[in-house]
């Protein structure tokens, strides 16, 4: 097991990159091209060498690493910069039932005042519901009284 790990590390250190595509070239692969001026180019495969000789630009071929870098592919491998968070702008405008002045006044209120006005509004709503219930029950009682008075006893069977 230890020997396998050591071999892998040696292979990793021996890998080179293709001068055209930018892909890894493992030991025993690729071809070395030496120009007349003595400059050496290592290519992964014949395809890369042929395209290089045709003076094609690797940045225009979608499968090369230079193209992928230019067009921002493989972003998860690169260290991503932190994005600036834009603060949400608060739109100041009147809402359905309240005008701008009313909204501004409510914003400016102190918490104690706000609490007091809220309790007053709740109290008013409760009183309104109580009043409605009382009226409803009074109407029901009146209807019952009328219903009993209007009833005529049925004639029994003979």
Instruction: Provide the whole-model pTM.
Output: 0.42
Tokens of 142: 């009146």
CA atoms within 13 A on the CB side of 132: 6
- CA–CA dist 36, 56 (Å, integer): 20
Work out the pLDDT band at 153, boundaries 50, 70, 90: low
**Given this model, what pLDDT does residue 131 score?**
94
Least trusted range by pLDDT, from 5-14, 51-60, 124-133: 5-14
CB 24 within 8 A of CB 17: yes
- CA–CA dist 80, 102 (Å, integer): 46
Query: What pLDDT digit, counting tens, does each position of 54-108 carry?
Result: 999 999 999 999 999 999 887 765 566 677 778 777 766 777 778 888 888 888 8
Strand stretches in 35-110, DSSP E:
40-43
**Given this model, what pLDDT does residue 73 score?**
87
**Model confidence at 3: pLDDT above 80:** no
Tokens of 67: 């193209």
């Amino acid at each position: 097991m230890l020997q396998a790990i050591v071999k892998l590390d040696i292979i990793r250190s021996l890998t080179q990159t293709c001068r055209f595509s930018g892909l890894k070239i493992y030991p025993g692969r690729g071809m070395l091209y030496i120009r007349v001026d003595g400059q050496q180019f290592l290519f992964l495969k014949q395809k890369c060498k042929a395209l290089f000789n045709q003076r094609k630009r690797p940045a225009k071929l979608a499968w090369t690493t230079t193209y992928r870098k230019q067009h921002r592919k493989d972003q998860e491998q690169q260290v991503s910069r932190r994005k600036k968070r834009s603060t949400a702008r608060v739109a100041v405008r009147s809402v359905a039932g309240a005008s701008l002045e009313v909204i501004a006044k409510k914003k400016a209120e102190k918490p104690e005042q706000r609490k007091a006005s809220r309790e007053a509004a709740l109290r008013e709503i409760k009183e309104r519901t109580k009043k409605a219930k009382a009226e409803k029950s009074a109407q029901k009682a009146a209807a019952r009284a009328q219903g009993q008075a209007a009833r005529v006893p049925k004639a029994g069977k003979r």
